[in-house]
Amino acid sequence: MEAIKVENLTKRFEDVTAVDQVSFSVQQGELFGLLGPNGAGKTTTINMLSTLLKPTSGRAEVAGFDVAKDRDNVRKSIGIVFQEPALDGKLTGRENLEFHAMMYGIKKAERNRRIDAVLKLVDLTEKAAVLVEKYSGGMKRRLEIARGLIQQPKVLFLDEPTLGLDAQTRRHIWDYVKRLNRENKVTIILTTHYMEEADYLCGRIAIMDHGKFVALDTPHRLKDVLGGDVVSLEVEGKAEPLLAELRTLDWIKKTNRHGEEINLTMEKGERRIPELITMAQQLGITVACVHLRKPSLEDVFLHFTGRTIREQEANQGERNRAMMMGHGRR
């Protein structure tokens, strides 16, 4: 059964198309990931599905309700954890949850039962009476997840849930999200630009780039697209002669140059490394370092977009600064 159905969903802001005719569906109980750099359209997609933004065109259903025509029922069916913190630091953890539950009109006895349940789920029962301003970053994110569950949603949207957290805390949040999906059968839509987060959590992943889906499949199948091991050669001097020679070999399935690094996709890469080094030496090129790894989602992203996610973020930052400077001149 489909928890979310999206057809040609589009959102334009003046002359910028943030989401460009995206179509996909999410099954009930699925943990689905939207992967991409800042500015790819992930948050805009979430905001349309959660009725915070009206689509320019296309349509979407969440829990069987049209996001444009039946917004109230959509909102009753979802929970959302925003990218930016939205807690009141002057209230305790329990008070934050109680205020949120009251907004949904949940009666006192049921409200207390649900608050106790979600606090236990995210391991914050002992911190319920502590002011939120004294919480760590990880505790705040866990409380926000708990708040998103108060109304017992059919679909939970998590927008960059571990943004800015340290690696250890991020892993703890992953475990809570995975347990929530497995034990409570909540359909979860997760946006992230952390490759390892999407790989660990999601049953399927859509890679977004410039408002479009450039790939959509399971993490395993996405990595299989590359067709073998990835061997990276860091070379000193001109890499073009070596790259040209490598492209003539039928056992190398894909070549990609990234600065001084040459990335090669092939089967049984560990057996081919001596041959690669010998070939470089014959061309008078020094191989400073060799890396062998199985394909990662970072490699997949590079394959589909031509850039790493960090480069995408840097370029988006430059565009944002240019836009701000342009607005400042007006």
Task: Give the H/E segment covering residue 290.
Answer: strand 286-293
Do residues 270 and 292 lie in contact, with contact meaning Cβ atoms separated by under 8 Å?
A: yes
Q: Tell me the pLDDT tens digit for each residue of 282-316.
A: 999 999 999 998 888 888 888 887 665 555 555 55
Q: Tell me the pLDDT tens digit for each residue of 51-81.
A: 999 999 999 999 999 999 999 999 999 999 9
Q: Tell me the pLDDT tens digit for each residue of 213-246.
A: 999 999 989 988 877 888 999 998 788 899 999 9
Do residues 155 and 189 lie in contact, with contact meaning Cβ atoms separated by under 8 Å?
A: yes
* For the chain, percent of residues with pLDDT exceeding 90: 61
- HSE toward the beta carbon, residue 47, CA cutoff 13 A: 15
Q: Quick check: 175 pLDDT over 70?
A: yes
Helix (H, G, I), strand (E, B) or coil at 63: coil
DSSP code for 124: -
pLDDT at 329: 45
Mean pLDDT to the nearest integer, 84-93: 92
- Ranking 83-92, 107-116, 192-201, 219-228 by mean pLDDT, the lowest is 219-228
Domain 227-294 has CATH 3.30.70.980: yes
Mean pLDDT to the nearest integer, 304-330: 52
Closest CA to 193 of 157, 145, 156, 160: 160
Closest CA to 230 of 262, 260, 254, 264: 264
165 Cβ neighbours under 8 A, 6+ residues apart: 137, 138, 141, 173
Where do the domains of the chain lie?
Answer: 2-218, 227-294
pLDDT at 321: 45
Q: Quick check: 318 pLDDT over 60?
A: no
Q: Quick check: 324 pLDDT over 70?
A: no
- Look up the CATH superfamily of 2-218: P-loop containing nucleotide triphosphate hydrolases (3.40.50.300)
Provide the mean pLDDT of the chain.
88
Instruction: Tell me the C-alpha distance between 57 and 15, whole Å.
Output: 15
